[in-house]
Structure 1
Amino acid sequence: MVYKIDPQADRQYIEEFRRCPIGRHSPGLQRVLHIMRQDPSGNQVILFCRKPFEEWVLATMPPDRRDPIVYEDEPVFTSREEAEWEIFRRRWRLLTGESINLPFRD
Structure 2
Amino acid sequence: MSRYALQPEDGQFIEEFMKTPIGHHSPGLQRVLNVMRGGELEGKYVLVIIEPYRKWALGRLPARRGAPISLVDGVEYSCQLQAERDVFARRWKDLTGDDIGSALNGEGSTRA
Please confirm whether the aligned pair reaches a TM-score higher than 0.5, indicating the same fold: yes
Interval of TM-score (by shorter of Structure 1 and Structure 2): 0.7 to 0.9
CA 75–41 in structure 1, closer or farther in 2 if over 3 Å, else same: closer
Residue identity in the other structure for 2:76: V
Calculate the TM-score normalised by the size of structure 1.
0.86
Letter in 2 for 1:44: K
The 5 Å alignment of 1:56-67 reads 56-67=56-67
User: TM-score by structure 2 length?
Assistant: 0.82
- Does residue 1:3 correspond to 2:36, yes or no? no
Task: Report whether the alignment pairs 1:21 with 2:21.
Answer: yes
One-letter code aligned to 1:84: E
The match for 1:68 is 68
CA deviation string 1:43-87 (max 9, x = no partner): 321111111111111111111124221012322111111101011
Question: Percentage identity across aligned positions?
Answer: 40
Which consecutive unaligned segments of at least 5 residues does structure 1 have? none
Residue correspondences, number: 101
Tell me the C-alpha RMSD between the 2 structures: 1.8
The residue aligned with 2:107 is none
**Richer in helix (by share):** 2
1:30 corresponds in structure 2 to 30
Q: Name the SS of the counterpart of 1:14 in structure 2.
A: helix
Q: Which SS does the other structure have where 2:49 is aligned?
A: strand
Task: State the Cα distance separating 1:41 from its structure 2 match.
Answer: 5.6
Identify which range, 63-72 or 36-45, moves more after superposition.
36-45
1:80 and 2:57 are equivalent in the alignment = no
Moved over 3 A (4+): none
- Which fold has the larger relative contact order, with Cα–Cα distance below 8 Å and residues 6 or more apart in sequence? 2
Q: What's the counterpart of residue 92 of structure 1?
A: 92
